[in-house]
A and B are shown apart, each in its own frame.
Chain A
Amino acid sequence: MKKLRILMADDHVVMRTGLRVLLERQANLEVVGEAANGRETIELAASLKPDVVVMDVGMPSLNGIEATKAIVTQRPATAVIVLSMHADESYVMRALKAGARAYLLKDSAAADLISAIEAVSQGKSFFSPKVSRILAEDYIRVLKQKGAVDTYDLLTSREQEILQLLAEGKANKEVASTLNISPYTVETHRGHILQKLNLHNPAELILYAVRKQIIS
């Protein structure tokens, strides 16, 4: 079986070393490069063509979010896993908007990184359980404060099913084949879902799914 090629980006040598030890224990993973800042990461991603980039957020020269945006634009096939100190929505949202497929907290990286790499290599999303929990708690709190009704209940069961598949990172076509329906139908459902939930883009859809703990 072909090994997954991994590029690590972090300005902390200690962190990189720790990650490398963790990754190299896995037989199916191969660390092909290390970068210490955003610009270097973009260059290495272009030259090494890794399958997965493990990206720190706070880096000098260019931060991880901007670097993610650049890499995903250049090579959509590359899955970016963002590694951050923060479980706050603002980071998660921006990472997702930039095109990251997974969002991990550094303090639980050891436990989650391998699962995250597996998930993104299969085209799925992944979030640290702690992140999902915090986002979900925030969501529930805001709903309570606003006295609003959970819009999730407005969705039909088919729409709920499609929401989950889309949030996991599947494309319309994949969803269509999984459910044995036409891609156009999926697209229609998708439109309804975004409208009912007052969402505007795939990143918000994923964030919503995480909040609702539809995906993890």
Chain B
Amino acid sequence: MPVASFARSQSRLGSRAVLIGGFAALLILMAIICIDSLQTLGKFETDNTQIREDFLYRERTLEKVRAGLYEAGNIVRDYILLGSDHQAQESLRTEFQSIHDETTAALQACIQSLPSGKREPFQHLAVELEKYGSTIGPTFASGAKADKTLEKSVLRGDILSRHAEILALTKEVSTVNDEDLKEAERRIAEAAAQFRRRLLRVAVIAFGCGLVLAAVTIIYAGQLENSVKEKYYESLQAQRELKELSKRLVDTEERERRAISRELHDEVGQSLSALLMDVENLAEMSPRESAFRQGLQNIKTLAENCVNEVRNMALLLRPSMLDDLGLVAAVEWQAREVSKRTGMLVDTVDENVSDDLPEDHKTCVYRIVQEALNNCSKHSYARNVKVVLSQESNHLRVSIEDDGKGFDPNRARGLGLIGMTERVSQLGGVLKVDSNPAGGTCLRIDLPLPMVSTDREN
């Protein structure tokens, strides 16, 4: 039994650890999902913004290139129209150079911001832009002669054709940029889909874990409940058995006492009485004042002492009055004995108590009165005790009241009192103790009596 219960408690400890671990894992899993989701969402947001910003930046650069081209075209046109105004031409040339530089710088900055794989169309554009600049740039520097060349090349449409080419190129780059944007958006969408899938998977796992955990918890709780129920019934059963056992003990003790008492009284006592009679008869027949008669006298004295001894022993075990004369006689005898022995004045009052109460009831009340009087004489220092027995219809009421020092019944509940309560409750009765340290003790019993049976065995 102890080994089994140890093993059971071990397994209970184990399953408890599993449950705690399971719940902890589930919580951690859920926390991870939350954090991961938040992080991923944040990343999507920044990625999206970044992509859009990049796109817009490139678009703006391209726009700048286009604007620069138009402006450069205008400057070239103005340069040609101004002819020999060198001062104005000089200022236009400076302006052209600064636009060219600005545009190139913007384009280069843009190229620098791009990842290496995407630089190519922009670099192409930069090269073309450089070529354009190098085509036009020298013409400004050559003065009047250059004007002719410029004029010619303008006429030849050289510049125009380059102009158109760059414009076409910017369009192309713009298209590439668009595609890039779309590509980035697709990537984000795909990442989102992937994230959704992952989320779903983790959620399914978490749900599964939760389900398993719930099942284990329910089973565990069920087992606990069952074992508690089992324990409860076991303890109830044990209590019943204990009660039964104590009743049997009390019954057995009483039976044994009665058997021994009767044996002593009826067999030993009566035989000794008979012996006494025989001795007396013999003495009558023997000559007066002979040694023989003296011897018989000695035997008689001895036998008389024996009879007294045996009678007292029998009475102490179980008074014959209880069986011969009934409860009241036995209680009165007990009261007289206690009075004689202790000097306490024990008064008994009886009100129509039947002489043939059921055996168990008689014994129960007698033993309780005995115990109570015993307690009075031992602990209470009482001078007066009153025992009242009364019978009303189908109830037997007993009270034992003393004027001793009393006690606190809530605190001092000795074995004797427990035994009395047990005896009374076995017969379905109630025992009450009223006592306080100031003013004596009153013990009350109320015993229900069974229906009076008409057939009398004795």
Contacts and interface: CB of A to CB of B under 8 A. Distances in A.
B414 to A, nearest CB: 28
Contacts of A86: 311, 320-321
Contacts of A110: 276-277, 279-281, 284
A88 interface: yes
Contacts of B270: 12, 14-15, 85, 106
A18 B269 CA distance: 14
Contacts of B333: 88-90
A94 interface: yes
Contacts of A81: none
Nearest to A21: B281
Contacts of A57: 324
Contacts of A42: none
Nearest to B278: A18
Nearest to A111: B280
A25 interface: yes
A141 B311 CA distance: 22
A167 B282 CA distance: 34
Contact of A90 (B271, B272, B273, B325): B325
Given A15-B274, A61-B458, A63-B458, A107 B340 contact: no
Given A12-B270, A89-B332, A91-B325, A107 B278 contact: no
Interface residues of B, number: 34
A19 interface: yes
B329 A141 contact: no
A180 interface: no
Contacts of B185: none
A91 to B, nearest CB: 7
Tell me which of B276, B277, B336 has the highest count of chain A C-beta atoms within 10 A of its own C-beta: B277
Interface in B269-323: 269-274, 276-281, 284, 303-304, 307-308, 311, 320-321
Interface in A15-33: 15, 17-19, 21-22, 25
A109 B277 contact: yes
B343 interface: yes
Contact of A62 (B271, B311, B329, B458): B458
A25 B304 contact: no
A58 interface: yes
B269 A85 contact: yes
Interface string A56-97: 011001110100000000000000000001101111001000
B272 A142 contact: no
B343 A145 contact: yes
A200 interface: no
A146 interface: yes
Contacts of A142: 339, 345
A22 to B, nearest CB: 6
A184 to B, nearest CB: 34
A161 interface: no
Contacts of B304: 107
A65 B329 CA distance: 13
A43 interface: no
A118 interface: no
Contact of A58 (B266, B277, B279): B266
B339 A141 contact: yes
Contact of A15 (B277, B281, B345): B277
A132 B345 CA distance: 22
A192 B336 CA distance: 29
Interface in B383-400: none
A138 interface: yes
Nearest to A15: B274
A141 B281 CA distance: 36
Contacts of A89: 332-333, 336
B265 interface: yes
Interface in A33-61: 57-58, 61
A142 B345 CA distance: 8
Contacts of B345: 142, 145-146
A22 B281 contact: yes
A141 B338 CA distance: 12
Contacts of A90: 321, 325, 329-330, 332-333
Contact of B329 (A58, A61, A94): A94
Contacts of A108: 276
A107 B458 contact: no
B325 A18 contact: no
A89 B329 CA distance: 9
12 contacts: A11-B266, A12-B270, A15-B270, A15-B273, A22-B277, A86-B311, A91-B329, A106-B269, A107-B304, A107-B307, A110-B276, A110-B284
Given A141-B339, A142-B339, 6 more contacts: A11-B266, A18-B274, A18-B277, A62-B458, A107-B272, A108-B276
Interface of A: 11-12, 14-15, 17-19, 21-22, 25, 57-58, 61-63, 65, 85-86, 88-91, 94, 106-111, 138, 141-142, 145-146
